[in-house]
Amino acid sequence: MLMSRRIVGWTVWLWSLALVSGAGGGQPSEPPAQVFTQQALFEAGRDGYHTYRIPALVVTKQGTVLAFCEARKNSNADHGDVDLALRRSVDGGRTWEKMQIIADDGGHTVGNPCPVVDRRTGTVWLPYCRDNQRVLLRKSTTDGQTWSEPADVTADVMSPQWHWVGTGPGHGIQLASGRLLIPCWADATPSLGEIQRSFVFFSDDGGRRWRPGGALDRNASDECEAVERVDGSLYMNMRSRQGKQRRAWATSSDGGAAWSAVEYDPALPEPSCQGSLVRLSDHRVHDRDRVLLASPASPKDRTQLTVRMSYDECRSWPIARVVHAGSSAYSDLAVTMGREVLLLYEADNYGKLVLARFNVEWLSGGRDSPAEPSDTRHPRTALGLDRSGRWLTLLVVDGVVTPVSGRWPRPFPGCRPPWGRRGRASCRRSRRGPRRSRRPRHAPAGRPPRAP
């Protein structure tokens, strides 16, 4: 009887992993068609604003797409009467609600939006700057429909020796540990733009407290975005300085507390401009790893906005396609729950912010067609390792991976695998109630548990 109970527990767990793997029968289907569409979301001179710049883009836990930008009232200058604007989409970026102003501080500059979504709670956190000297923070628990009053976190996240600061611009990320991480730049001298550097700040308690992370090499880079690799390390891609005309990059093995020396990638030419970075797929859930990078690819001017794709965690970028050959600058990338890519970018000499929507088939010219797990509409669980080698649960909803630290997969309510935290096995059946077995051996840290 004891052995049969253990077998039941193992069967449940293996059934859960089978759902994640996407293995199943059926005849092969035709590859999806190549999709590429564009629409202008913000246009200069409309709704009472001279220019719209500095895009930021996130997809909420519920699938709502939030598109942020700076709404510059009287001119296209970086400083002056600048507000924060937002548009929402509830259908994956196909149609959009009217623009709303979510931050207006009179004649002050309110800009550099860098939103991040907490996949555990659904809260959208919005760090931004006031006059590039104060870091403010708002949050929304209503998918961007309403926002809290701003909190000033400057003293918590910025060195008092720095004179200027910019969050992002673009989006922040949530690590497998649950950490919310915001990429930033700072100026070390009173003269804005003279000597800058990239840095990060983060929260480990769901946004209640924020603290500074590591700063990168002095005057080597500035505006930046980051992605977590599947091995738990961080990769940051940055705008270069000092006329390098190549994208800068660095890595962190401790969640952003310290960073490697800044290097420059000869395969990523740029004119010194902000770029955007996002993970598209993870081999633990999908068929392979994919990370996307967007930036102007001409070293001479801000043109040739190009999206690149890496299969080896940002070490090389074999796939590249031009989205906009003409004038193009800042951008931000996001991935919808339907696994389509969204790119919000500045076009035509800052005359408008355009949203491009495309799939991997278009980006790769038909050479790559992702194999999705079966039944992506329902939640599934997978196992992964955190940076310290401990097993944790990954929750997968519509292809979006959300870490759930300290919990094991439960394929249905009341069930857990036979190596629970206290070594107990239980499985609540629909009619018989909970059943328990003796304590099996604990699994060694960093290795999959053994079958009893």
Domain segments of the chain as ranges = 2-24+376-427, 36-363
* Largest distance between two CA atoms of the chain: 78
> In whole angstroms, what separates CA 286 from the centre of its chain?
17
The bridge status of strand 151-152 relative to strand 134-140 is antiparallel
* C-beta contacts of 318-324 below 8 A and 24+ residues apart: 319/363, 319/364, 319/367, 319/368, 321/362, 321/363, 321/364, 321/365, 322/297, 323/294, 323/356, 323/358, 324/354, 324/356
Q: How does pLDDT run across 359-386, given as a tens digit for each residue?
A: 999 999 999 998 765 444 445 556 665 5
Confidence of residue 198 (pLDDT cuts 50, 70, 90): very high
Tokens for 385, please give them.
Answer: 């390792």
**Confidence (pLDDT) at 403:** 62
Q: How does pLDDT run across 69-125, given as a tens digit for each residue?
A: 999 999 999 999 999 999 999 999 999 999 999 999 999 999 999 999 999 999 999
- Is residue 306's pLDDT more than 80? yes
Phi, psi dihedrals of residue 94, rounded to the nearest 5°:
-85, -45
What is 36-363's CATH topology?
Neuraminidase (2.120.10)
DSSP string, 160-198: TT--EEEE-SS--EE-TTS-EEEEEEEESSSSTTSSEEE
In this structure, what is the dihedral angle of CA atoms 319, 320, 323, 329, given to the nearest 10 degrees?
130
Phi, psi dihedrals of residue 39, rounded to the nearest 5°:
-155, 145
Q: Rounded to an integer, what distance in angstroms lies between the CA atom of residue 428 and that of residue 359?
A: 42
> In whole angstroms, what separates CA 284 from the centre of its chain?
17
**Confidence (pLDDT) at 53:** 98
